[in-house]
């Protein structure tokens, strides 16, 4: 049916009926695995056998302020692994990894397969836009899920994510499954089910897959918006990034290294990941990636070369107390309202705009304190984003910071 859909023999109404049935009744594991395999077979599979070394990949199920790929890919290459990364553009909150990288002047994410492979062979890493030839069934089915309200289904999400990961050819894949009010999965039980399903699909298709469930009840790091996130990723690679982002990148990198080469104990893998940041090797690797992909590596030492917004506006608090809850998706909507994300895939995004969070869960706030800083290019959009951001904060009794890493699988 999946191949028939790509070939035009299965009509939208038939696929919609299937998706609705899968959404309502669920799919057994065998059905989910068969759907994934059919989606992989609908297009080209990347053959990475020409590249020597251990090929590793990571995937995040998505969240607000998630710029881990920008930090982890250079870290993995600096440690000595091969990191071929194919990423997408974003729909919704902010751009995807490709949009973020394209905020670097000149940076190209459209790499031919030969160029992608030779760059990985030469410098250990490349980050390119996902080829439309890979898992085309997923692209078509996702568009249909979007308009038939069938996105929110664990078997369909698992098949969608894993078909792209399998088609990309890495042997070892680490999944960062986000849970919380800024993620697809709102509770730990559903996050566990999603992680288990994707790990089992990987095993079925002879890939080694691990997963870590991590918190998304507040934005990751502080920056939400494309160039702002690149800037924060550079700070993190330089050792001066936000503590939560730095810790998550170290833990995910260590887990992936341990998955790919169990000779590395987790503790040793963690030390290697930290050393890649501390020594500057990961930052140097990011500069190499930028240079190899025609970008202006001057952004590393001079982030002002990234697009900057004309309006920088603080959102001050009208209340006092301790931040006990944040509407994470709301912060994403504020960034999107400024132009950092797109509603429809043909929309243009503004790379300069976004929100930089100053106060997070557990922080004490006085009236007049800055909760967040808005970077915008349009006064009306800035006013709208200001209102959204202020409404995202809830004050109450001390809750402490949420635990960042919830479970390892």
Angle, in degrees to the nearest 10, between helices 266-278 and 243-260: 130
Task: Report, in Å, the least distance between residue 313 CB and ligand URA.
Answer: 32
Angle, in degrees to the nearest 10, between helices 136-148 and 154-167: 160
Alpha carbons 343 and 333: distance in angstroms, whole number: 10
- Binder among 160, 218, 253, 328 for ligand URA (CB under 6 A): 160
Task: Report, in Å, the least distance between residue 157 CB and ligand URA.
Answer: 4
Q: Distance from CA of residue 224 to its chain's centroid?
A: 12
Which of 302, 313, 296 lies closest to 381 in space, CA to CA? 313
Nearer to ligand URA, 61 or 317 (CB): 61
Task: Report, in Å, the least distance between residue 229 CB and ligand URA.
Answer: 18
Report, as residue numbers or ranges, the catalytic residues. Answer: 59, 138, 145, 160, 164
Rule CB under 6 A: is residue 216 a binding residue for ligand URA? no
Which residue number is nearest to ligand URA in terms of Cβ? 160
Nearer to ligand URA, 153 or 218 (CB): 153
Rule CB under 6 A: is residue 224 a binding residue for ligand URA? no
Nearer to ligand URA, 85 or 231 (CB): 85
Site of tokens 């994410």:
109
Task: Report, in Å, the least distance between residue 272 CB and ligand URA.
Answer: 29
Site of tokens 């890919």:
73
Rule CB under 6 A: is residue 157 a binding residue for ligand URA? yes
Rule CB under 6 A: is residue 209 a binding residue for ligand URA? no
Rule CB under 6 A: is residue 2 a binding residue for ligand URA? no
Rule CB under 6 A: is residue 161 a binding residue for ligand URA? yes
Nearer to ligand URA, 156 or 255 (CB): 156
Assigned token pair, 56: 């590793």
Rule CB under 6 A: is residue 337 a binding residue for ligand URA? no
Which of 376, 343, 349, 291 lies closest to 103 in space, CA to CA? 349
* Residue 407 main-chain phi, psi, to 5 deg: -155, 150
Task: Report, in Å, the least distance between residue 380 CB and ligand URA.
Answer: 31
Nearer to ligand URA, 10 or 151 (CB): 151
Task: Say how many residues touch ligand URA, by CB under 6 A.
Answer: 7
SS3 state at 177: strand
Which of 65, 94, 62, 64 lies closest to 336 in space, CA to CA? 94
Rule CB under 6 A: is residue 73 a binding residue for ligand URA? no
Instruction: With contacts defined by CB under 6 A, name the span among 150-158, 257-265, 354-362, 401-409 that binds ligand URA.
Output: 150-158
Instruction: With contacts defined by CB under 6 A, name the span among 155-163, 168-176, 214-222, 343-351 that binds ligand URA.
Output: 155-163
* Residue 178 main-chain phi, psi, to 5 deg: -90, 145
Of 228-267, binders to ligand URA (CB under 6 A) are none
Which of 217, 240, 237 lies closest to 286 in space, CA to CA? 237
Where do runs of H (alpha helix) occur along 95-135? 97-101, 113-123
Of 103-142, binders to ligand URA (CB under 6 A) are 142
Nearer to ligand URA, 43 or 62 (CB): 62
Site of tokens 């709208």:
384
Contact (CB, 8 A) for 236 and 245: yes
Alpha carbons 4 and 214: distance in angstroms, whole number: 37
Residues contributing to the site for ligand URA (CB under 6 A): 62, 142, 151, 156-157, 160-161
């Amino acid at each position: 049916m999946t191949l028939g859909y790509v070939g035009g023999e299965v009509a939208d109404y038939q696929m919609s009926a299937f998706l609705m049935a899968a959404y309502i009744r669920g799919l057994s594991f065998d059905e989910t695995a068969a759907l994934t395999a059919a989606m992989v077979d609908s297009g080209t599979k990347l053959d990475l056998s020409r590249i020597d070394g251990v090929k590793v990949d990571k995937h995040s199920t998505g969240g607000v302020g998630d710029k881990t790929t920008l930090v982890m890919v250079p870290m993995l290459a600096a440690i000595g692994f091969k990191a071929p990364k194919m990423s997408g553009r974003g729909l919704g909150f902010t751009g995807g990894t490709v949009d973020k990288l394209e905020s670097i002047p000149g940076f190209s994410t459209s790499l031919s397969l030969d160029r992608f492979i030779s760059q990985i062979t030469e410098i250990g890493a490349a980050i390119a836009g996902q080829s439309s030839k890979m898992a085309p069934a997923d692209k078509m089915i996702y568009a249909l899920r979007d308009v038939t309200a069938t996105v929110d289904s664990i078997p369909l999400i698992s098949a969608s994510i894993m078909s792209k990961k399998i088609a990309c050819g890495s042997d070892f894949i680490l999944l960062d499954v986000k849970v919380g009010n800024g993620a697809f999965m709102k509770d730990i039980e559903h996050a566990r089910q999603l992680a288990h399903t994707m790990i089992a699909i990987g095993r079925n298709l002879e890939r080694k897959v691990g997963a870590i469930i991590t918190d998304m009840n507040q934005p990751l790091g502080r920056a939400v918006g494309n160039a702002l996130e690149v800037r924060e990723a550079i700070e993190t690679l330089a050792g001066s990034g936000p503590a939560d982002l730095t810790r998550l990148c170290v833990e995910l990198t260590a887990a992936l290294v341990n998955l790919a080469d169990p000779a590395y104990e987790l503790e040793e893998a963690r030390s290697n990941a930290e050393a890649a940041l501390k020594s500057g090797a990961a930052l140097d690797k990011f500069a190499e990636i930028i240079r190899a992909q025609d970008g202006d590596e001057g952004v590393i030492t001079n982030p002002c070369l990234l697009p900057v917004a004309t309006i920088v506006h603080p959102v001050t608090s009208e209340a006092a107390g301790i931040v006990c809850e944040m509407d994470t998706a709301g912060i994403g909507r504020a960034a999107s309202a400024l132009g950092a994300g797109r509603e429809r895939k043909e929309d243009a995004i503004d790379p300069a705009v976004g929100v930089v969070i100053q106060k997070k869960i557990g922080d004490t706030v006085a009236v007049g304190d800055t909760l967040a800083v808005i970077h915008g290019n349009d006064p009306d959009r800035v006013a709208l984003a200001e209102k959204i951001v202020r409404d995202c904060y809830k004050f109450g009794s001390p809750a402490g910071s949420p635990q960042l890493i919830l479970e390892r699988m």
